A and B are shown apart, each in its own frame.
Chain A
C-alpha cells in the first residue's frame, strides 16, 4: 500500500475527508473510553446523541456554534492566505473588553438603541487592533505571526484579568473579579423565546456567506487564495503581500473581536476573567474542518459545538473530566489533517503476490 500523487486535487475527498475524520474520531474516542472502563455505547449516546435530544439542547448547540463560526470563518481566510493567526483567543478577548467598555461606560441615555451596535463595532475594532500588531510586526520586522499572535493572547487575558479585578471591578460585587452587569440596551436580543439563542446566529450566517462571496468572487479573495497557494505567483500577479497580510489579519482579528463582543453581550452579560471556553483555539479546528471555506466553517462550527455540549453532558452523567472534550477536538484535527492527504494523493493497494 502506498501513496501516489493525483494529477488534480480530488473534489470527492475534499468533501469526504472531514466526514471520514469525524468517523475516525468517534471510533478512536470510543475505543479510548472502553479502555478507560466506560461503556462505549453509553458514551456515544451521551456525547454525540444527547446534544440533539431535545429542543433546548439543540438551541444550546447553536449558541456555542455562533462564536465558533464567527471566528472560524475569519480564520479560514487568514489560513487560506498562508497567514497563521493563532491569536484568535486574544483578539476575542480584546473584542470583549472593548465591547464591555462601551456597554459599561457609554452614557445609556445618549446611546439608546445604538448601544448594542456600538458594542459590536467596538468589539470589531478591539479584535482588529490585536490582529494588526502581529501583521505589522511581520511586515516590518519579519516577526513570525504565529508566535506574536499567540503571545498576545496571554497579554489580552491578563489585561482582562487586571481590568475586572481593578478599575472595572463591580463595586457591589463583593470583591469577586467581575464587572457590573451590562445595561439592558447592551444585551443581544433573544431569537427564540425560552432559549438563550440570540441574534448572533443570523449574524454568523450572514458573515459566513459574505466571506464566501469575497473569497471566490472578488479580486481581494483571489489575492488571498493565490498568496496561500503560491506567494511568488501572487506577487507576479501584482498582489502586495503586505496588503494581503494586513487585510486578513484585520479581518480575522475583527471577526474574533466581534465574536467576543457577541458572547459577552449575550450569554455572559458582564466581564469576567473567563469568557471564552477555548473558542479561539477550537475555531482553528473549525476552519480546517470546514475546508478553509467560510460556509464550511459554519457547518464545522455546529459539529464542534457538539463536543462542547456533549462534553458538559458527559461531565454530569458519566463523571468524565471536562478535558475529554479537548481530547475529542484534538483527535478530530489530527485525523482531519491525515485524511486531507487523500485530497492530493490516492492510496494504491498492491498485492504481495505480484511483488
Chain B
C-alpha cells in the first residue's frame, strides 16, 4: 500500500434550489493508519451537504452524512439518541449505492483498486475511539464534531493526520480522529443551588455533560456561570443538589480533588512565572514530575493536539495565545476528562482562536468533554454542539447552538429582544483629536512607536489589538495620566496638549473611560455621588447629582446612593460611561467599553457612544472585541507591539485582515495556523 498515491480528496455536494454545487478539496497525505475521519464544523459550511465522497488514492472510502445530534433536553439524550443517531446515519456516497455499514474485518487496501467498486475496505471506527468503549455508541459516521463526517480507512502504520494547509482551502474543515459518542453522562449536575446572602447565584441548575461533548455555558454577567463552574472545579460547594460523576455522586471539595477526578480548568487570566521556562512553569504545578519528563510530554502533547509550544522558551517571550496553550497543556498533563474553558478567546486573535478550536475539536474527538464559557455567540455556534443558557441563576434553555441564531441565543440569555443600535454613517468633519508621531519608551510596559492617527468630528475610531500591545500606554498618554514630552504629539481641536495633565485636558473638553472599572474609573468603597466627583471635580462644579446619570443611563442598583462596589459590572460601566457623556465631551477616549458587560448594557453603551459621535464628538474606542469594532466604528486601526496601523474604513476590512494585523501579519501566528493543525 506504500505505493498508493499519497492523495486524499473530498467532494461534498450540495443541492440548493434544485442545482447541485460540488465542493472539492484534496490534500497530500502520508500513508493513513487507523481510522480517518473528516468532519466539518457546521459554522464553516453553509449547510449540510447532501452527500460526501472521499477518495484515498484511487480508492473510494465509505463516508456518512448524519444528522446533527438531536438537541432537545440534555438528559433525554443518552442511549436512546445514540440509537436514533445510528439509524439516521445513513452512509451515502454521491451517486452510488449506499455503502454497507463499515463493520468488517480490517482489510488490506488493494493496490490500484478500481474507484467505483463501492466496496472499500473499512474497519471499525471504534478502534480509534479512546475511552469510548461504551456499548450502544457504535454509530459509524456519527461525529459530534460536525455535520459531515467520513470514515474510515485502516492501514497498519503510525497514526497521522493530513496536513491542514490544503484543508484550509475550504475554510474551517477539520480533521479529527473518528469518535463514537458514548451517551453515558460523564458528569451530571443535578438541581444544584448556591446562594450568597440573599442572592441565589444558582437555582436548581441541572446540566449533563457527555464525553466528547463541546458544551457551551451561556449567560449574561452575573447569570451564575462562574458560580456553577467553581462548584464543578471544587472552589465552591453547592448548598443543595449534587454532582454525579460516572454515575456516582461526588463531593468535590477542592481544585486539587477536581484535578484528580479528571477535571481541568483553563482560566481567563493565567497565573504563571514570567522568568521561568514553559517546562519549569509546568513543573511548579506538577511537583512530582521530573523536568525532562515534562519536556517530553509537552513535546508529545503539542504534536498531538497542534499546540505549538517549545518547552524551553521563557514565559515572558510568549504571546497571550501561547500562554493559553501552556495552560491547556498544563491541564492535559493531568489527563482531564472534562476541560473547562473560561472565556478563552478574549485574549486571542481570530487566527489564534481558530487554532484553539482545532485543538478543542481534537480533544473532544478523543472523548474529553469541554465546558466552554463564552459570551461570543457566533463562536459558540461554530464550536459547540450543546449549549446551556443561564439567566439569573436558572437554566432557561438547553439547545443546539448550531440550530439557533446569534440573536435567538442572545434573547435566551437576556430574556427579551435586544435592540442592537444601528450604525448609520455619520457626518464626518474635521479632525478633533490628532496624534502625530507619539513615541514612548517602555517603562515597564509596552513602548509606543510613532503612533499617528486622527479622530474626526462625528466619527468613532476603533483601535483594535489583542491585550498588552500598548493599549494601556496609549490610553494613559491620551488621558494625560502619563503626559508626553512632545507637547504637539497630541492636539485637540488644533491645540497641543501633550504635556497637559488629565485635569487640564478635561477642561479642554476631553473625557476618558479606562478599561478597569473598579480601581481605575471608579472606587468600590465610595458611593456613586463621590465616584461622580472623581472626574468632575476638575471642572470646579459642585458635586452634581449622580442620580441624573443613573436615570439617564438606566443604572440599576439598590439604595439612593449605593457604593460602586455593590453595582453589577454592566450597571457600573453604564454609570462610568454616562458620567463622562453627561458633560458632552468633544473628544471621548474609552477603553474596552463593554468588556465583561451583559448584552443589554453593551447595547445601551454602544447606543450612547453612537449618539455622542452623532452630536459632533470624536470618539476613540480601544477594544479587543472585533464584533464591537464592526458594530460601532467608522474607521479602525490595529495596535500591535506599540505600532499603530494606518486607520482604514471598517467597511473595507474583514475580521481576517484585522486579525493578521493584530498578530503582526508576519508573525508565527499565521504559520502556526497553517502547520499546527
Q: Which residues of A contact B (CB under 8 A)?
A: 4, 7-9, 219, 222, 225-226, 229-230, 232-233, 235-238, 240
Contacts and interface: CB of A to CB of B under 8 A. Distances in A.
Interface string B13-37: 0000000000000000000000000
Interface string B477-505: 00101000000000000000000011100
Given A236-B481, A236-B535, A8 B523 contact: no
Top 10 A-B pairs, shortest CB-CB distance: A238-B503, A237-B534, A8-B563, A230-B519, A238-B502, A232-B520, A230-B523, A7-B566, A8-B566, A229-B523
5 contacts: A4-B196, A8-B563, A226-B526, A233-B534, A237-B537
Contacts of B521: 233, 236
A231 B526 CA distance: 14
A8 B196 CA distance: 13
B516 A232 contact: yes
Contacts, number: 61
B506 interface: yes
A235 B481 CA distance: 6
Contacts of A235: 481, 502
B215 interface: no
B454 to A, nearest CB: 24
Nearest to B504: A238
B565 A229 contact: no
B444 to A, nearest CB: 13
B523 A233 contact: yes
Give the residue among A230, A233, A235 with the most B Cβ atoms within 10 A: A233
Interface string B563-597: 10110000000000000000000000000000000
Contacts of B479: 236
Contact of B565 (A8, A226, A232, A233): A8
B464 interface: no
B246 interface: no
B530 interface: yes
B553 interface: no
Contacts of B196: 4
B456 interface: no
Contact of A236 (B512, B525, B563): B512
B562 interface: yes
A9 B512 contact: no
Interface of B: 196-197, 479, 481, 501-503, 506, 512, 514, 516, 518-526, 530, 533-535, 537-538, 562-563, 565-566
B63 to A, nearest CB: 54
Contacts of B530: 222
B403 to A, nearest CB: 39
Contacts of A230: 518-520, 523-524
Contacts of B525: 9, 229
B565 A7 contact: yes
B566 A226 contact: no
Give the residue among B502, B512, B534, B562 with the most A Cβ atoms within 10 A: B534
Nearest to B513: A236
Contacts of B522: 233
A236 B526 contact: no
Contacts of B533: 222
Contacts of A236: 479, 481, 502, 512, 514, 520-521, 534-535
B519 A233 contact: yes
A286 to B, nearest CB: 22
A233 B512 CA distance: 12
Contacts of B563: 7-9
Contacts of B520: 230, 232-233, 236
A102 B565 CA distance: 51
Given A229-B525, A236-B512, 5 more contacts: A222-B533, A226-B523, A233-B522, A238-B501, A238-B506
B526 A229 contact: yes
A238 B535 CA distance: 8
Contacts of B516: 232
Contacts of B503: 238
Contacts of A8: 562-563, 565-566
Given A236-B479, A236-B512, A222 B537 contact: yes
Contact of A232 (B506, B519, B524, B538): B519
A225 B525 CA distance: 10
A244 to B, nearest CB: 14
A219 B514 CA distance: 22
A238 B534 CA distance: 8
Contacts of A4: 196-197
A237 B579 CA distance: 13
Contacts of A7: 197, 563, 565-566
Contacts of A232: 516, 519-520
A220 to B, nearest CB: 11
A218 B540 CA distance: 12
Nearest to A229: B523
A233 B196 CA distance: 29
A9 B518 CA distance: 15
B241 to A, nearest CB: 13
Contacts of B524: 229-230
Nearest to A355: B237
Nearest to A226: B523
A9 B563 CA distance: 9
Contacts of A237: 502, 534-535, 537-538
B55 to A, nearest CB: 61
A250 B286 CA distance: 52
Contacts of A219: 537
A4 B198 CA distance: 13
B544 to A, nearest CB: 15
Contacts of B535: 236-237
A9 B564 CA distance: 11
A222 B537 CA distance: 10
Nearest to A225: B526
Contacts of B197: 4, 7
B211 to A, nearest CB: 30
B316 to A, nearest CB: 23
Contacts of A226: 523, 526, 534
A2 to B, nearest CB: 10
A4 B201 CA distance: 14
A7 B395 CA distance: 25
A222 B526 CA distance: 10
A238 B510 CA distance: 13
A238 B566 contact: no
Contacts of A9: 525, 563
Contacts of A222: 530, 533, 537
A8 B523 CA distance: 12
A250 to B, nearest CB: 22
B537 to A, nearest CB: 6
A232 B512 CA distance: 14
A9 B653 CA distance: 48
B112 to A, nearest CB: 70
A225 B531 CA distance: 12
Give the residue among A219, A229, A232, A240 with the most B Cβ atoms within 10 A: A232
Give the residue among A219, A229, A230, A235 with the most B Cβ atoms within 10 A: A230
Contacts of B506: 238
